[in-house]
Amino acid sequence: MKIDVCFSPSLYRYYADNLDLIVVVTDIFRATSTICAAFRNGATAVIPVRSPEEAKAYKEKGHLVGGERNVKKFEFGDFGNSPSEYTAEKVKGREVVFSTTNGTRAIDEAAGCSCLIIGAFGNLSAIADYCLSQQKDVLVLCAGWKERFNMEDSLFGGALVEKLAAAGYNAAFDAAQVALSMWQEAKSDPLKYIQRSEHIKRLEANGLLDVVADCLAIDTTSVLPVYDKETKKITDCLYPTKPQSSQSILL
């Protein structure tokens, strides 16, 4: 088994050399951190859509809609793209339609793979445990920023590489090794490390710095959001080896 990291949705086709692959899509600031929060708080499904127009059409049909473009919340939306907005009061038992600058783009790119899961620091160990239970090759797909490399998603890739390499996965690939080095440099203080990133400036300019600590907090939930290519929905998959009680304990 191997694990590698793909730094941009535009590069996905060059990394997905195996159809029987687990693809872990990550967009730390903020889409996948927010999706994990929505499931932690009881959402029944997240419906990722590519365009703001699609999101608006869902809103007009009565759906809850969240997301952003260029860090700014849709004017028609119920939520933006911060984990703390998706409270149990608002999302428990509900489906949420969701569209973001990079996260839903990355999900769309990898939608054809055999297993697409949503990863964030919040469910890092749940993701690692799931991968180990499946014993398949793993590719972390970083959403990046408008197809560019970004620091925070690669850092998550490094954190997952560390866990799977420790369990015997082959991570002897250039991107995986560099992501691992980043994580090893950052892990004693990820909040400090990430101050150098471009996204911090975007969040700051939009008054959103309070989300940073939420998005970097590790293992705050055991949700395992899985994309179903038939229904085009993401649901929390309580896979067989996952303790059935863990979600309620963590909530």
What is the smallest separation between the CB atom of 53 and a second copy, expressed in angstroms?
A: 23
Binding positions for a second copy, rule: CB under 8 A = 7-8, 10-11, 14-15, 145-151, 154, 172-175, 177-178, 181-182, 185, 196-199
Question: Between 15 and 58, whose beta carbon lies closer to a second copy?
Answer: 15
Residue among 198 and 219 whose Cβ is closer to a second copy: 198
- Residue placing its CB nearer to a second copy in the complex, 15 or 227: 15
In sequence order, the β-bridge partners of residue 4 are: 139
Q: 10 Å Cβ neighbour count for 186? A: 20
Which residues touch 167 (CB under 8 Å, ≥6 apart)?
A: 128, 132
Q: How far is the CB of 20 from a second copy (least distance, A)?
A: 20
Q: Which of 108, 105, 198 is nearest to 150 (CA)?
A: 198
Residue 192 CB partners (closer than 8 Å, separation 6+)? none
Task: Name every residue whose Cβ is closer than 8 Å to that of residue 96 and which is 6 or more positions away in sequence.
Answer: 38, 43, 45, 46, 47, 63, 64, 65, 66, 78, 79, 86
The least CB distance from residue 214 to a second copy, in Å, is 20
* Least distance to a second copy, CB of residue 7, Å: 6
Judged by beta carbon, residue 134 or residue 177, the one nearer a second copy is 177
Report the nearest approach of a second copy to the CB of residue 238 (Å).
Answer: 35
State which residue, 41 or 197, has the beta carbon closest to a second copy: 197
